[in-house]
């Protein structure tokens, strides 16, 4: 029997098999699938796609080919590409879909005015992929440019090495083609400098102007001096100064290391295509044009759509409505606000129809404005920058000292050769190649566990973590309540299941979303077959449809109560048809994961939830009562983190109420949730429902440190030896051309084997 991590994955598996697309799993082989969680069950609005399609088709005749680019969340491999393209081809007028997992882009071609793109997007969402507008900066342009440079420099390096080899093996100077070979080598190195070397030189120059040392600085110095020295050597006929072949090869190797690093960052960035609940502009009954956030002012009325947050403290100008204050205090339970009551900034509208609110403050004065901003310390100086400063100073001093010594001993040409040799052979391969590889391998390992690294410097900071701070709701616990009696849903009559699907569809209430997931694939089939219906919301009570209702116990009969053996009931004509019980549940493996963590770390809970809930969670997890803090506002969380942090805290949170605390913590992480501001602020984020990745990530940081230290030790020995030979005047182009790539390969091997041996 198949086992699934969530109802979403179970539903998608059934969809794929039922639609005859089972070959998807053959393509995936044994690779782990990303959990889709509740994506297939969420209400979706692809109205933006109609506008985008109309814009594209505006000047294209009906039946002619149209084309557009979009972003697609959920792409991870060639199996995803196959599935997306096959689903698209089944739609009338669809011509071609080209999906790119590395960039998260989807290019569609279709027949103008004959293809229903929103229907395709809706079907695609049922498989766990969410189509979004193409985001600025999501094109992967930098990565494509770097990849093109890498390919070109590989060809230049090969040419340079091939046409230099005859000279190394004894080609006489009067050989007829010797000059042509040298010219080709020069042109290859020059093109490598223009195409690839400029990448490092430009960045090094900009960082130097800013007064910040950058890893590209020693790389730029090395290739610049080597190229300049080679030009001098060629002009003066000094063979010992000619490093053209090395210049081309070295640039290729450095670009390869940079490409690995950028690929990891770009891949993670494209997993963050999330719907943002903080609208950039808002409709207003007081204005004809949409109102930007920056123009919100006291007294201005704006419209809040379902699922959107109230950007500023505002008075409810509509009838009673339900809002979630989860962003503000971490408590997931809905709250009912009556007309005239002030709704706090950050409250999320849970109703199914828009409401009107009147702003009580400007956006700049709003709590949400502070929460969505970030003042995380950008001025931290990592150990790498300190090392680079000392390294650069030492290399420059050694190179200049060697030049002065040999200038007095043997003249200008040998002195210049010694200085160039010092700069060339001492370029930091461990920093330029091995370190990016270590980040890539460690990031890939965590990706298999559903964890995605956004900040490469996280690994050095993780080693210092002594205190792990958790938000409770949505971090230690699941985002929605767990249905304790799922058999009740299974026993419903077909009519009752249809009604339950209608009543829960499109609702943002946590209970409704849990029940919709409990209906699974059957519920989605019912919704597709049922005509649209008018659902009535009674804030604080429930929803109704005809004689049917879903809500608080006793509400349908006119006697609502909170003292009941169940939490919600489905009623027909006021009489209960089914009763449902829910409870807040800890994440799977949370107890086991925290048991491992507390052996070496202090565990702390900072929550905005009620004291009794926080105390119960702390007791279940074995966290000391004095480290379980409840009923905290965002500012109070931030103050406690600043009090606790000595550059040794790791904070896990999932909502805007954790945003200020994120600014104060040393390392931050967040689960990917439906409405989070933290994915763009965190050092890492994770999918799935388990916390078992956390001990593994902390252990991996230690293994990575050991592997990098070994690579650095080798680099130190290599540099000391190579520089000594260079200072003694024994370094020539052939030796440099061989030992530099070899040292890079050895550094890569040390890191690769070191992290491979850490697998358990």
Over the range 586-623, which residues count as b (16 or more CB within 10 Å of their CB) and which as e?
A: bbeebeebbeebeeebbbbbbbbbeeebbeebbeebeb
Residue 379 lies in a domain: no
Residue 98 lies in a domain: yes
Pairing verdict, β 667-671 and 684-686: parallel
- For 349, residues 6+ apart whose C-beta sits below 8 A from its C-beta are 304, 305, 306, 307, 308, 309, 310, 321, 322, 323, 355, 508
Q: What pLDDT does residue 138 have?
A: 43
Q: Are residues 557 and 602 in the same domain?
A: no
Residue 445 lies in a domain: no
Q: What pLDDT does residue 416 have?
A: 75
Q: Are residues 416 and 517 in the same domain?
A: no
Higher pLDDT, 504 or 396: 504
Is 476:628 a contact under the CB 8 Å cutoff?
A: no
The structure tokens 């019980």 sit at 581
Mean local confidence (pLDDT), 277-293:
83
How far apart are alpha carbons 689 and 692 in whole angstroms?
Answer: 9
Domain tally for the chain? 5
The structure tokens 């990016």 sit at 436
Q: What is the pLDDT of residues 722-737, one digit of tens each?
A: 888 888 888 765 565 5
Provide, rounded to the nearest whole percent, the portion of the chain with pLDDT above 90.
Answer: 20
| Strands of the 65-73 sheet, one edge to the other | 94-100, 105-111, 65-73, 130-133
Q: Are residues 116 and 258 in the same domain?
A: no
Q: What is the pLDDT of residues 438-470, one digit of tens each?
A: 887 888 788 777 788 887 778 888 989 999 999
How far apart are alpha carbons 56 and 66 in whole angstroms?
Answer: 7
Q: What pLDDT does residue 627 have?
A: 95
The H or E element that residue 614 is part of is helix 611-621
Q: Where in 397-489 does DSSP place strands (E)?
A: 451-453, 467-470, 482-483
Q: Are residues 256 and 303 in the same domain?
A: no
DSSP secondary structure code for residue 197 in this structure: I
Q: What is the pLDDT of residues 94-135, one digit of tens each?
A: 999 988 776 678 899 999 999 999 889 888 887 778 888 875
Q: Are residues 511 and 607 in the same domain?
A: no
Q: What pLDDT does residue 179 have?
A: 73
Q: What pLDDT does residue 129 have?
A: 82
Using CA atoms, how far residue 472 sits from 209, 331, 611, 655, in Å, is 45, 9, 11, 11
Q: Are residues 596 and 647 in the same domain?
A: yes
Task: Answer with the one of 315, 338, 372 that is the final residue of a domain.
Answer: 372
Give just the sign of the alpha carbon dihedral 290, 294, 297, 301: positive
How far apart are alpha carbons 706 and 687 in whole angstroms?
Answer: 28
How far apart are alpha carbons 656 and 654 in whole angstroms?
Answer: 7
Task: Answer with the one of 691, 711, 729 that is the final residue of a domain.
Answer: 691
Task: Answer with the one of 317, 346, 372 that is the final residue of a domain.
Answer: 372
Tell me, what CATH number does 646's domain have? 3.40.50.1000
Q: Are residues 286 and 257 in the same domain?
A: no
What length is written for the chain? 760
Looking at 287-301, 327-341, 499-513, which range is the least confident one? 327-341
Using CA atoms, how far residue 342 sits from 345, 347, 662, in Å, is 9, 11, 27
Highest mean pLDDT among 207-216, 392-401, 627-636, 731-740: 627-636
Q: Are residues 356 and 420 in the same domain?
A: no
DSSP secondary structure code for residue 631 in this structure: S
How far apart are alpha carbons 652 and 662 in whole angstroms?
Answer: 9
Residue 681 lies in a domain: yes
Q: Are residues 454 and 592 in the same domain?
A: yes
Residue 128 lies in a domain: yes
Q: What is the pLDDT of residues 496-537, one digit of tens each?
A: 999 999 999 878 788 888 898 888 878 878 887 888 788 888
How far apart are alpha carbons 80 and 22 in whole angstroms?
Answer: 12
CA-closest candidate to residue 430, choices 153, 743, 758: 743
Is 138:270 a contact under the CB 8 Å cutoff?
A: yes
Residue 353 lies in a domain: yes
Domain containing residue 96? 7-139
CA-closest candidate to residue 489, choices 583, 581, 578, 585: 578
Q: What is the pLDDT of residues 676-713, one digit of tens each?
A: 567 677 888 886 677 888 999 999 999 888 888 888 88
Residue 249 has pLDDT above 50, yes or no: yes
In the numeric block, which tokens belong to residue 269? Answer: 């960035």
Q: Where in 524-652 does DSSP place strands (E)?
A: 536-538, 542-545, 548-551, 568-572, 575-580, 582-583, 602-606, 628-629, 649-652
Mean local confidence (pLDDT), 637-659:
89
In the numeric block, which tokens belong to residue 489? Answer: 């849903």
Q: Are residues 91 and 153 in the same domain?
A: no
Q: What pLDDT does residue 559 have?
A: 80
The structure tokens 């901003």 sit at 373
Q: What pLDDT does residue 576 have?
A: 92
In the numeric block, which tokens belong to residue 65? Answer: 């080919």
How far apart are alpha carbons 84 and 72 in whole angstroms?
Answer: 10
Q: What pLDDT does residue 168 have?
A: 64
The H or E element that residue 246 is part of is helix 244-269
How far apart are alpha carbons 729 and 392 in whole angstroms?
Answer: 21
CA-closest candidate to residue 745, choices 257, 263, 246, 259: 257
Tell me, what CATH number does 487's domain have? 3.40.1110
Highest mean pLDDT among 66-80, 294-308, 525-539: 294-308
CB atoms within 10 A of CB 259: 17
The H or E element that residue 304 is part of is strand 301-304
Highest mean pLDDT among 406-415, 461-470, 725-734, 747-756: 461-470
Q: Are residues 294 and 255 in the same domain?
A: no
Looking at 33-47, 333-347, 520-534, 663-677, which range is the least confident one? 33-47
Coil, helix or strand for 651?
strand
Pairing verdict, β 548-551 and 291-292: unpaired
Q: What is the pLDDT of residues 416-445, one digit of tens each?
A: 778 777 776 776 656 666 777 788 788 878
- For 294, residues 6+ apart whose C-beta sits below 8 A from its C-beta are 363, 364
Q: What is the pTM for the complete model shown? A: 0.62
In the numeric block, which tokens belong to residue 559? Answer: 């006697």
In the numeric block, which tokens belong to residue 191? Answer: 């093109």
Give just the sign of the alpha carbon dihedral 691, 696, 699, 705: negative
Residue 149 lies in a domain: yes
Residue 444 lies in a domain: no
Q: Are residues 597 and 722 in the same domain?
A: no
How far apart are alpha carbons 79 and 269 in whole angstroms?
Answer: 20
Residue 63 has pLDDT above 70, yes or no: yes
């Amino acid at each position: 029997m198949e086992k699934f991590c969530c109802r979403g994955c179970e539903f998608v598996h059934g969809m794929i098999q039922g639609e005859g697309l089972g070959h998807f799993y053959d393509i995936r082989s044994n690779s782990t699938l990303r959990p889709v969680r509740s994506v297939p069950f969420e209400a979706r609005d692809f109205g933006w796609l109609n506008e985008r399609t109309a814009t594209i088709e505006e000047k294209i005749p009906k039946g002619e080919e149209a084309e557009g680019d979009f972003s697609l969340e959920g792409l991870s491999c060639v199996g995803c590409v196959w599935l997306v393209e096959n689903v698209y081809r089944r739609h009338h007028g669809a011509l071609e879909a080209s999906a790119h997992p590395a960039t998260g882009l989807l290019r569609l071609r279709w027949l103008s005015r004959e293809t229903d793109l929103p229907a395709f997007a809706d079907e695609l969402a049922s498989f766990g992929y969410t189509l979004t507008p193409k985001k600025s900066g999501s094109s992967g342009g930098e990565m494509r440019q770097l990849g093109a440079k890498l390919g070109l420099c590989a060809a230049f390096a090969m040419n340079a090495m091939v046409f230099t080899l005859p000279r190394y093996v004894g080609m006489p100077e009067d050989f007829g083609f010797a000059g042509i070979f040298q010219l080709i080598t020069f042109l290859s190195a020059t093109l490598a400098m223009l195409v690839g070397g400029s990448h490092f030189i430009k960045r090094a120059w900009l960082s130097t102007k800013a007064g910040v040392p950058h890893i590209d600085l020693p790389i730029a110095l090395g290739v610049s001096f080597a190229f300049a020295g080679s030009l001098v050597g060629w002009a003066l006929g000094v063979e010992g100064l000619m490093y053209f072949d090395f210049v081309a090869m070295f640039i290729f190797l450095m670009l390869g290391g940079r490409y690995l690093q950028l690929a990891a960052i770009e891949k993670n960035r494209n997993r963050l295509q999330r719907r943002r609940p903080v609208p950039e502009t808002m409709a207003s009954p007081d204005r004809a044009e949409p109102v930007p956030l920056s123009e919100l002012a006291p007294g201005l009325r704006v419209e809040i759509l379902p699922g959107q947050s109230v950007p500023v403290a505002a008075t409810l100008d509509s009838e009673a409505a339900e809002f979630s204050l989860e962003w503000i205090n971490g408590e997931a339970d809905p709250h009912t606000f009556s007309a005239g009551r002030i709704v706090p900034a950050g409250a999320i509208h849970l109703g199914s129809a828009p409401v009107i609110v009147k702003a009580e403050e400007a956006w700049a004065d709003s709590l949400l404005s502070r929460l969505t901003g970030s003042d995380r310390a950008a001025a931290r100086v990592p150990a790498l920058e300190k090392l680079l400063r000392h390294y650069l100073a030492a290399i420059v001093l050694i190179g200049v000292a060697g030049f002065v010594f040999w200038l007095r001993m043997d003249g200008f040409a040998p002195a210049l050769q010694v200085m160039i040799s010092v700069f060339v052979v001492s370029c930091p391969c461990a920093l330029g190649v091995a370190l990016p590889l270590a980040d890539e391998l460690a990031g890939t390992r965590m990706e298999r566990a559903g964890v995605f690294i956004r900040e490469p410097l996280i690994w050095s900071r993780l080693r210092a973590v002594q205190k792990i701070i958790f938000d409770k709701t949505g971090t230690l616990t699941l985002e929605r309540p767990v249905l304790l009696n799922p058999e009740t849903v299974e026993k419903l009559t077909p009519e009752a299941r249809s009604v339950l699907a209608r009543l829960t569809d499109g609702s943002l209430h946590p209970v409704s979303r849990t029940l919709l997931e409990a209906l699974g694939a059957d519920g989605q089939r019912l919704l597709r077959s049922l005509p649209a219906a008018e659902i009535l919301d009674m804030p604080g009570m429930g929803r109704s449809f005809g004689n049917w209702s879903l809500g608080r116990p006793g509400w349908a009969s006119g006697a609502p109560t909170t003292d009941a053996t169940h939490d919600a009931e489905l009623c027909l004509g006021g009489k209960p048809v089914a009763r449902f019980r829910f409870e807040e549940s800890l994440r799977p493996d949370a107890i086991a994961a925290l048991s491992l963590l507390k052996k070496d770390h202090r565990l702390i809970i900072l929550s905005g939830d009620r004291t009794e809930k926080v105390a119960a969670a702390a007791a279940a997890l074995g966290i000391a009562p004095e480290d379980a803090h409840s009923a905290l506002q965002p500012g109070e969380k931030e103050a406690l983190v600043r009090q606790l942090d000595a550059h040794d805290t790791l904070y896990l949170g999932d909502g805007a109420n954790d945003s200020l605390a994120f600014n104060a913590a040393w390392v931050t992480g967040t689960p990917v949730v439906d409405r989070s501001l933290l994915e763009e602020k965190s050092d890492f984020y994770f999918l799935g429902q388990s916390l078992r990745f956390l001990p593994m990530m902390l252990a991996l940081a230690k293994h990575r440190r050991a592997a990098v230290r070994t690579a650095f030790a080798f680099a130190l020995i290599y540099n000391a030896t190579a520089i000594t030979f260079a200072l003694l005047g024994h370094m020539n182009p052939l030796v440099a051309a061989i030992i530099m790539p070899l040292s890079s390969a050895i550094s890569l091997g040390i890191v690769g084997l070191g992290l491979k041996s850490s697998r358990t």
